[in-house]
Structure formats: C-alpha cells, structure tokens
Structure 1
Amino acid sequence: MDADLKIPTVAETLKHPAFPTAIWNLEPNRKGLCPVAEGRGGPLNIHYEIHGEGPIKLVFIMGLGGLLTGWQRQTLHFGHHHREKYSVLVFDNRGVGSSDKPLMRYSSSEMARDLYDLVTSPAVGFLPPSPESQTRCLHIVGISLGGMIAQEFACLFPHTISSLSLCCTAPAIKNYSLTWLENIKSRIGMLMPKSPDESVAGVARQIFARGWLPLPDDADLPIVGETPKLLPPPGGRKEYGKFESNAQRFVAQEMHKRMDKSRFGLKGFLLQLVAAGWHNKSEEQLREMADGVGRERILVMHGTEDGMISLPHGEVLMSWVEPARGLVLEGMGHAPSMERTRWFNELVGEWCEVGERLDGRL
C-alpha cells in the first residue's frame, strides 16, 4: 500500500458534521444477549441482532476486531430495503462489541461453535436444536477472520448450509511474501504503541485499495422513514451525512468503535488475533468440507490489493475448495462489503438464490 496516501486526521474527522451519523440507527426486529459455549468454558453471552422478517436466513460473520455495525451497508440492504425477503443475523464475536470478552484461548473452531449455539438457540431460532431435525437453510457470509470461522462452521455443520461465501480469507496464514525476520517484525509492529492517527491510517492502508480511499464518500445513506425501522441518527439529527472521502468515513467508523472502551479493547483484539493466527485447515479438511457442503453452493473471492491477507492465500483456498465460483478481483482490497457495496450485495443476493434453488425453495 502507498504509505504517502493522505488519510484524514482523527481530529478533523471528529469535528466533521457527519461524524455523529457514521453508525446508522438501524432498528432490528429482534436483538439480545444469547448464552453460548456451555461446557466449553462458558456460558458466555453473544450479542446479536436480526433485521428483517423474510424466509431467507442470511448470516454475516465479521472479521478481526470488527463489530456487527461493520455490516451496516448489508444490514440496510438486506434487512431493511428487502426485509420481506431476508432475515439477517449479525452479531459481535466473542471478545468485541457487546458480547462477553472472556480471558481464555480463542480459536476459529470455538467461535464457529459459538455461532452454532446462537443459530440453534430459541432466541434466534434459525435452526432447530436437534441435528436430526435440521435441514439446509443458512446462507453464511464470512470475511477475513469471519471467513475462517465460516470454514470451521462448514466443516462442523455442512448439512445446515444452503450457500457459503468466503471473502478475503485463508486456510491458514502463511509467509508467502515475507522472510521469517520480516514476518516477526510485522507481528511485533502490530503491538507497538502508535498515535490514533498512525494506527487508524495504517489500518486503512492495509484494508482498502489505494484508489478507493481518496474518492468521494460513496455510501448509500439510509433515508429516514423509508422503511418502518429506518430511524434518524442519534443526537436529534434528522438525516445522515456524507464525509469528504471514503477514507474519512472509515476513520469515523473506526473512531466510533475505538472511543467506546467497553466495546473494543486490546485484550479482545489480541485474543481474536490468536484465533486468526492459529487457524489452520488442511487441503484434505477443506476438500472434505466442500464435499459435505457441495461445491455448487460455495463462492470464494479475493482482491489483488488485499493488504491484510495477501492474494496467494485466497488462491490456495480456491485451489483446495474448488468452488463453483472463485473470483480474483483486480484492484480490490480486503473489504468488498464497503469498497464495492452495490456489487457485493447483488452477488450475495444472487448466491442466496443459488442455494434456495438447490434446496427447492425457488
């Protein structure tokens, strides 16, 4: 990534009139804290929201350090604009947000089991609790660490999946482009103290494509009153505002997260980092998973400008899984859900239809 690319400062972003509206006030149909991990070091509570009331059960799994609000562009599209078609589940993984943050070893496998406990709970009810009564109905979308959790979920519960989308993720983190010494320095660097400006700008440059960050803010904003649960922003404002650039919108969203110390802290981030760093699925395991889910139901995508999980990781994943659709996208970074929102939402919708047709519901 281009280190000279200018990222708006935290100070100027906090003063921007749109800053209070950066996190959208999307009222869910249901929300709550769900106990999971009984007998696995728990119980611990996972915070979830369900948006929409349609028959298609769509589950979004967020990546390292991300909150459920990171999916707000998808929540708005599927759970509000198309609320009669989809029921959208978003949640905070253990360690972040309003979910519990236990001090213990995190793994992508345990986090996948958290999700299973969540979708089979009476509160969420996406699946019956008895495996014998379960049928394929879940449309799983995971990004980055969320894609690793999705892989584990698909390995453990392939019979529940109607479609599976693995975005900008990896079977394991390898040193495809770094020497051993460079890799060690990179990991140490993640833990070194930095100013907020340095930290947020560094993350932005790793996540997003160079060409997208300086462009004018391209978010399709909620229109208050357009659907029953599209609410005004907090603080008495009547409408949502635009930022000067895509980069500034990211800085604003990141600072909303970081300024709430009860919802985001170093402990939970590092524990999730352990889960990502030690995630490791073999070629044999992923081929068995693809057999169980059905390759015709699987989509894998990766961007050529992904600075978080480099392209060779995605290429290995595609070669092992052999999905029905494998996409290498020129000029895309690590977050297609933000960089290419309309395209991404259309593709997720199309892939849901693929699964629904295979299951005989369309």
Structure 2
Amino acid sequence: MTMDADLKIPTVAETLKHPAFPTAIWNLEPDRKGLCPVAEGRGGPLNINYEIHGEGPIKLVFIMGLGGLLTGWQRQTLYFGHLHRDKYSVLVLDNRGVGGSDKPLMRYSSSEMARDLYDLVTSPEVNFLPANPDRDQTRCLHIVGISLGGMIAQEFACLYPHTISSLSLCCTAPEIKNYSLTWLENIKSRLGMLMPKSPDESVAGVARQIFAHGWLPLPDDAEVPVVGSTPKALPPVAGGGGGTYLRFESNAQRFVAQEMHKRMDKSKFGLKGFLLQLVAAGWHCKSEEQLREMAERVGRERILIMHGTEDGMISLPHGKVLMEWVNPGKGLVIEGMGHAPSMERTKWFNELVGEWCEGGERLDGRL
C-alpha cells in the first residue's frame, strides 16, 4: 500500500475535545471477567485479563494483534456476545504485555502466548475446554486471530489442533519478511518504528498503515450500541455522553479516539509491553511443512484466511504465502481492504465469522 502523507488525520487535541470522546470505548458488561493465572513453569505464573460475553453454546475466541487491548474487539463483542448472546459465548483477552494482563520483562514468543491461551481456556474460571491434554478433546473452539493474534492462532493450531472447530486467520503471516526492501532497508524500516514521534505523528502514522486510505475520511460508520436495545441490558454510557453513544466526524477520528483511550492509560499500554510483543511478532516463524501439517490435523475445510490488498502493516505477499502453504477451505484476497477488517468492514466481517463458526459446528455434528 502506498503511504499517502497528504491524508489528513484529525489531531489528538481536537479529538479529545469531541463530545463523542468519552463514549469511544463501549461499556459492554461481561457475563464473567477476571484475572487468570497462566504460564506455571514457563516463567510464570502471570495473570491474563479476560472477559466472557454471552452464554450460548458456540465458543468463540478473539485474539488481538500487536499492542491491542480486548476492547479492540468491541464491535464483535457487541454483535456476538450481546446481540446474539444466546448463540455465542465470546472470550476476549489482553495478551501478556498489555491491558489488564501482567507485563513481565522476559522474552515473548507467539508460541508462549498460544500456551497462555490454552492455560486460559482450560482454566476452571473460563472452562472453555476440559483441562486434560492427555485425551482426545471434543472440537469446540472457534479461534479468530488478527495480525500478531493470527500468529498466536497459528501456534495454537499447531499445538492443539484437536480443540479447533474453526480457525480464522486475518491479515497475518507465517513470518515477517519484506518482499520489496533490501536487508539494510528492512532493518532501517523496523528501527523507524521506535523513533520518537509526537502523539499526532504516531497515531496518524499507525492509522495510515492499518486502514485503507479511502475508508479513513468517510463519516463514522460504527454501529454504536443503543442502551436498552440488547437482550442483556447495557450499563450506562461510560464517561458521559448524556446516556447515548455518540458518533465522530470520520472513521479516522474514531480510531484516534480509541487509540488515545488506550495510550492515556499508562497502566494498560506502555513501551515495554509493546516492544516485547513486537519481538514475538518479528520472530514468529512457521515453515511450510509445519503449516501443512497443522492444516491436515485441524482440517483444511475448517480454516479461513483473509488478507486485504491495502494492508500497510503486513503486506499482501505475506497473506498469499500463508494461503499457498495452508491451502485453506476459504482463502480471500479482498480488494481495497486494509489491516483491520473487524473495524473497516464490520458487518461483512461479523457475518463471515458467524458463517464460518456455523460451518465448524456442522462439521462437528452440532448443527
């Protein structure tokens, strides 16, 4: 994706003053939440912050990408865990290093973070899986991972293929390469991520990398919650808004607001955790042989892979290699889509994930 430096992103100052800013993070009350100890004997225990929304039989797990909090899935949490709460139980979590989870100073890897997830879903608190790895387990997990979350999902599928009813890998890669830069240019590009920038420069740069440039200036298209309209009543709007979730001027401004909610809470987002997650993403590497074996054990008909042509964070060639090696039941290259279909194309994304979950349920004989 060609970077458009002339694309105007609303400033942090004007976004903080916008009436909708206090309502940018939706107050979606979970059915269960807590801190779950994981990684016993693997440098832990350390606590993972999680929420479960809904009480339906379909167990849906969303894994966020680099530096993202569980609130980054709020459009999916609302749709699956509230509007369709009788059908789905939705698990969202903060990966180690961010949010309400612990942020230990140690080497992070996508495989260790996948093991964190296994400890979480098998814990008595979450109880998405029986905690006996020595016997065949009923396939029941519907795993959706984006970016680094997609790398974690690959590792989880390699380690625990017998638990997966469906697997959706979004805008991710078997390993990070640069298909257009030389080795030296690639190193300089990665170091550029760590250069000090003003908040406006930093947030605008991230927005331009993540989203399709044609989508950013469009009017805010988020389907905001309507208090009292869901089967599980929503609590009052957090932070004001007169009891109503408000809209921003553009999609870009909503992203700036959500990003600033995250960055302003130093207890949830800091440089240390971000860099340690960056290490996990940068060193993630699954070979063609490993992914082919994973696909055979999970079942290719259960695997969905999608990538956008305007993904400026993980470029399209990465997604094409992943599709070639996995040979999934469905592989989608979406014209004009960026790195975050869960936000850019929420309705389409939610409906597709729902269809894919139902396909896995049918394969397991539950539908």
TM-score by length of 2: 0.98
Counterpart of 1:269 (choices 258, 269, 274) is: 274
Alpha-carbon deviations, 1:236-264, whole Å to 9, x = none?
Answer: 43010000000000000000000000000
Question: Is the Cα–Cα contact under 8 Å of residues 141 and 166 in structure 2 kept in the other structure?
Answer: yes
Say whether 1:166 aligns with 2:169.
yes
Structure 2 CA distance, aligned partners of 1:235 and 1:312?
A: 42
> Which one-letter code corresponds to 2:150 in the other structure?
G
Structure 1 CA distance, aligned partners of 2:7 and 2:209?
A: 12
Q: Percent identity, please.
A: 88
Alpha-carbon deviations, 1:268-314, whole Å to 9, x = none?
Answer: 00000000000000000000000000000000000000000000000
Alpha-carbon deviations, 1:24-46, whole Å to 9, x = none?
Answer: 00000000000000000000000
Question: Is the Cα–Cα contact under 8 Å of residues 107 and 275 in structure 1 kept in the other structure?
Answer: yes
Say whether 1:182 aligns with 2:182.
no
Structure 2 CA distance, aligned partners of 1:96 and 1:69?
A: 12
Report the counterpart of residue 136 of structure 1 in structure 2: 139
Counterpart of 1:238 (choices 230, 243, 251) is: 243
Paired residue secondary structure (1:221): coil
Structure 2 CA distance, aligned partners of 1:84 and 1:133?
A: 27
Q: State the 1:323 CA deviation.
A: 0.2
Question: Superposed, which structure 2 residues align to 1:280-319 within 5 Å?
Answer: 280-319=285-324
Q: State the 1:320 CA deviation.
A: 0.2
Q: State the 1:231 CA deviation.
A: 2.0
Paired residue secondary structure (1:191): coil
Structure 2 CA distance, aligned partners of 1:210 and 1:234?
A: 30
Report the counterpart of residue 79 of structure 1 in structure 2: 81
Report the counterpart of residue 333 of structure 1 in structure 2: 338
Alpha-carbon deviations, 1:30-63, whole Å to 9, x = none?
Answer: 0000000000000000000000000000000000
Report the counterpart of residue 191 of structure 1 in structure 2: 194
Structure 2 CA distance, aligned partners of 1:3 and 1:191?
A: 19
Question: Is the Cα–Cα contact under 8 Å of residues 232 and 240 in structure 1 kept in the other structure?
Answer: no
Counterpart of 2:357 (choices 340, 352, 357) is: 352
Say whether 1:12 aligns with 2:14.
yes
Question: Is the Cα–Cα contact under 8 Å of residues 26 and 229 in structure 1 kept in the other structure?
Answer: no
Report the counterpart of residue 108 of structure 1 in structure 2: 110
Q: State the 1:187 CA deviation.
A: 1.0
Question: Is the Cα–Cα contact under 8 Å of residues 207 and 333 in structure 1 kept in the other structure?
Answer: yes
Paired residue secondary structure (1:89): strand
Worse-matched range after superposition: 276-285 or 226-235: 226-235
Counterpart of 2:205 (choices 193, 202, 206) is: 202
Structure 2 CA distance, aligned partners of 1:163 and 1:226?
A: 30
Counterpart of 1:259 (choices 255, 264, 278) is: 264
Q: State the 1:133 CA deviation.
A: 5.5
Q: State the 1:3 CA deviation.
A: 1.2
> Which one-letter code corresponds to 1:108 in the other structure?
S
> Which one-letter code corresponds to 2:277 in the other structure?
Q
Question: Superposed, which structure 2 residues align to 1:41-60 within 5 Å?
Answer: 41-60=43-62
Report the counterpart of residue 29 of structure 2 in structure 1: 27
Question: Superposed, which structure 2 residues align to 1:137-152 within 5 Å?
Answer: 137-152=140-155
Question: Is the Cα–Cα contact under 8 Å of residues 136 and 162 in structure 2 kept in the other structure?
Answer: no
CA RMSD, 1 decimal: 0.7
Which contiguous aligned blocks of 4+ residues in structure 1 show a shift greater than 3 angstroms?
none
Question: Is the Cα–Cα contact under 8 Å of residues 136 and 162 in structure 1 kept in the other structure?
Answer: yes
Q: Count the aligned residue pairs.
A: 362
> Which one-letter code corresponds to 1:348 in the other structure?
V
Structure 1 CA distance, aligned partners of 2:236 and 2:251?
A: 22
Paired residue secondary structure (2:243): coil
Question: Is the Cα–Cα contact under 8 Å of residues 154 and 293 in structure 1 kept in the other structure?
Answer: yes
Alpha-carbon deviations, 1:315-349, whole Å to 9, x = none?
Answer: 00000000010000000000000000000000000
> Which one-letter code corresponds to 2:179 in the other structure?
Y
Paired residue secondary structure (1:35): strand
